[in-house]
Structure 1
């Protein structure tokens, strides 16, 4: 299905208005038909009802020596109905798209995603009865592809991750659907002032802990929306918490943040699914972030394996990236004699990556040696000293 000339003309007027700021011309087009408004109200109700049925996610403790006077937590986002942090984002994006009139009955929703967002968006698309197409790298884990299809979505693969954006936009035009564009809208679709967002949830769950206001929250960045929500909420609530973003290899967020260059790019895709981008995404808000870390991919894998050893839970590579950053901050606090709490995120379950981050054969194929990073984590937990 292609857009009609009338819709194309309207879109041209809207785009021109957005670019110039000039008054929008009057167009006598009635979009308030009763059938669509009935569908819209029901779709919004279903998405909000999903949130109402969902309990909060757990805040897990990572064991560190009591004498340090430091508490390390992981916000376990893997317990959402679709198994990842991206469930929150997908719900917000669907509500944003519905309430803006962008998502329409019978027309597909299209998303550029390396996996978890697409799984969650496929779930919400099925919930409200619209088709869903995920445009994703061909290297995306087989388990994520299976989950997208389980929820009724379709996978559309690209060989070059940098082509996901334009391929998604082209599919939206071709099908008359809506390109969700998480990388642009993630930071604005979520209400960062509260409304049970992830930041408000963390502080509520820490209320009875010995350090209820964390010294640091460590996030990772795919769209940048989560770090923006966390940082904005901290500033809005006037907390002293600092926000750190841990960035994997083959991602340009760290370089963009340190150089202040918004057009920084890199040539290859991230091996840590769900985070790391080849360009500075519009939803990444560098000015709100206090610190960034570049984390080797082998360190991310070592950290998720250390997590399983410590609490018996497998997690995805993005969790490892954030945990490595959090452990490094803990080591700095120990060295400086500071006490307090540090929070990072358990983003999604490790069973989606058994053929990657838990496979020694995959590590060998990628040329990754996790041994020195395993040794570093063991040394920290045994002696309180970060090697090197």
Structure 2
């Protein structure tokens, strides 16, 4: 789960219109709370505060929001039913699903991502608990700001929304940004990779499920360890989805288990996943310590711990996500003789984590999502170009 204790800086330009946010929740307390938070941000404004999904569908054209925070359980029309109707009326709408941490809501949130939602956020069971409310507050504002920044760069739809959405892949890649100076690339390691490590956050579940469908030749011969910023229950569901998508064993990692080729290990929500030496083998070590990079699980602990086990035989992949988690660990992997690949900006939902790695000059490749799996297959087969 990503826990942002400090929000991203607000835009400094006074000419840019504030993000218009539509809040849809049947709880008057939650609606009021979120509306107050948004209203206190200089670069956001509450476009509407609505009780049901039906209200949102009926009013979206009048309200014209950039971002919608959409509850799952509501009367008249629930969030999952309202989602496609909202996107049919405004295909570029950013939708953040909000739900409490139950298995049913986690399943619905995953379904919402496949239907075009941009992200999800877990709501605290009670807003009276200060730490839970603070986490929800800061995480929500960061998601709105980061995802909203990208929607500003999208061109307006010029053809049928229904046809355009039918053509969109799961990850909803964005148009290429304005050309920037070329990023520094490093050569791939001369060492043969012995493990694949993956770090991801916002947009990660969609990217991971698309990626593992093509990684069979790598998974069969090497272990794959993944840290996705995600709360408990959600990681349980994600592991099940990864197993179905890859047709390979995938599960939440268990403390002390031996790491083996042919399996996908996912950091469980709320615990850091590291690896340690266990004789001639590697073993999982779960850590209930403090958040790292405001996240728990975090990517850096996995990346840095792998160096002691596999030295220069580490290949790390940084996928879409907010923040910079994975960049410091990636630097250490490269310094130890390993390699790092990052997802490119155009195919990322948020180019925070992969952008940090790419801009640090530690990547051997920065690739669109659909080119990453083929490249990994070639690298693990011996291609070092």
TM-score (norm 1): 0.29
Give 1 or 2: higher strand fraction.
2
Q: TM-score, normalised by structure 2?
A: 0.29
Compare the two structures and name the one with the higher helix fraction: 1
**Bigger-Rg structure (1/2):** 1
